[in-house]
Amino acid sequence: MAAFPFQKGLVETGAGLYAYLQPDGGWGWSNAGLITDGGESLLVDTLFDARLTREMLGVMADAAGVGADDIGIIVNTHANGDHTHGNGCCHKAEVIASEASAREMSELPASQLAAIMAQARAMGPAGQYLVDIFGSFDFTDVAEKLPTQTFSGEYSLKVGDIKVDLIEVGPAHTAGDVLVHVPDDKTIFTGDILFIEGTPIMWAGPVANWIAACNLIIDLKAETIVPGHGPITDVHGVRRVQDYLRYIDQEARKRYDAGLSVRDAAHDIRLGDFSSWGDAERIAVNVSALYREYSGDSAAPDVVQLFGLMAELKQ
């Protein structure tokens, strides 16, 4: 794999293929992708607010000659707002997502997130943590657009002469994660199945699905792997994500079997080499998801409580 710099902006990774990168890859600083050929263009994900998305689209217009109205298709790799809140900036685009992601997108609209942020400073440590991680984004300035086409399993399409395969691998990070595979160019846009140099966060699980999704990426023999967050990577980066997932599964299971609470387990697990990754406090969410998996609990987690625990771990 060629060594691509991890700096903000557009990187050409192949003929008609681009990655848009946002260091440092932490909360909300997601990547996107562009596939263009024969006058047709597909955007892989948008960004966390309209300002950032408009900035990205301006860069794409200048560097790749693809303006917002030239984009015919947006593929959302999953439902999280940092990959969807700019969809409406591309007025002419169809929006494709998995059925599971489409259902999930309606559960936390940007208006609700904006209301939460407006009250955050009155929410104690959890609220301050939200301000710290999301204060750079403007959730009152978004361009939401829900999927206009959905699929389950796999779906293939053409962008000019470029074949693009959409492969549903969720639930894992979220309910409906999708890989965007460009087989002829040996390129994959993974969405948040991969966080590189940052801590993966498991809102959904099960963990085995996520590990299997990493195996699939490896089996597809991609040479250029664009993660949802962090620098462009290769198979080594994929295996490191797997290593983290296996490790926290083993460690959480020990503490679950010993009767420790989620809070105590999150404090007790030592991350070793993984502690150098950004946002290590996400272990709180991961332990919570694993405990629910072990117990067969399908109830939604208390997200405010989890953000409070992450704030506690961050100190």
Peptide linkage before 183 cis (omega within 30 of 0): no
Average pLDDT over all residues of the chain: 96
Residue 209 domain-assigned (yes or no): yes
Q: Quick: pLDDT tens for 258-273.
A: 999 999 999 999 999 9
206/167 Cα distance (integer angstroms): 17
Residue 3 is assigned to a structural domain of this protein: no
Strand order from edge to edge, sheet including 32-37: 9-14, 17-21, 32-37, 40-44, 73-75, 94-98, 149-151
CATH number of the domain at 164, please: 3.60.15.10
Is 127 domain-assigned?
yes
Q: Which residues pair with 181 in a beta bridge?
A: 165, 188
- For residue 1, tell me if it sits in a domain: no
Q: Which residues pair with 43 in a beta bridge?
A: 34, 74
pLDDT in tens, 219-238: 999 999 999 999 999 999 99
- The count of domains in the chain is 1
Q: Is 4 part of any domain? A: no
Per-residue pLDDT of the chain (315 residues; tens, 9 = 90+): 568 999 999 999 999 999 999 999 999 999 999 999 999 999 999 999 999 999 999 999 999 999 999 999 999 999 999 999 999 999 999 999 999 999 999 888 889 889 999 999 888 999 999 999 999 999 999 999 999 999 999 999 999 999 999 999 999 999 999 999 999 999 999 999 999 999 999 999 999 999 999 999 999 999 999 999 999 999 999 999 999 999 999 999 999 999 999 999 999 999 999 999 999 999 999 999 999 999 999 998 999 899 999 999 998
The identity of residue 83, as a single letter, is H
Predicted TM-score (pTM) above 0.95: yes
For the record, the structure tokens of 152 come out as 């389950």
Inside any domain, residue 268: yes
The pLDDT value recorded for residue 2 is 66
Spatial CA neighbour of 112 closest among 128, 124, 130, 100 = 130
| Residue 2 belongs to a domain | no
158: number of CA atoms within 13 Å, CB side? 4
From the CB of residue 115, how many other CB atoms can be counted at a distance below 10 Å?
13
pLDDT reported for residue 221: 96
Residue 284: domain span: 9-314
Measured CA angle at 313 (ends 307, 314), to 5 deg: 85
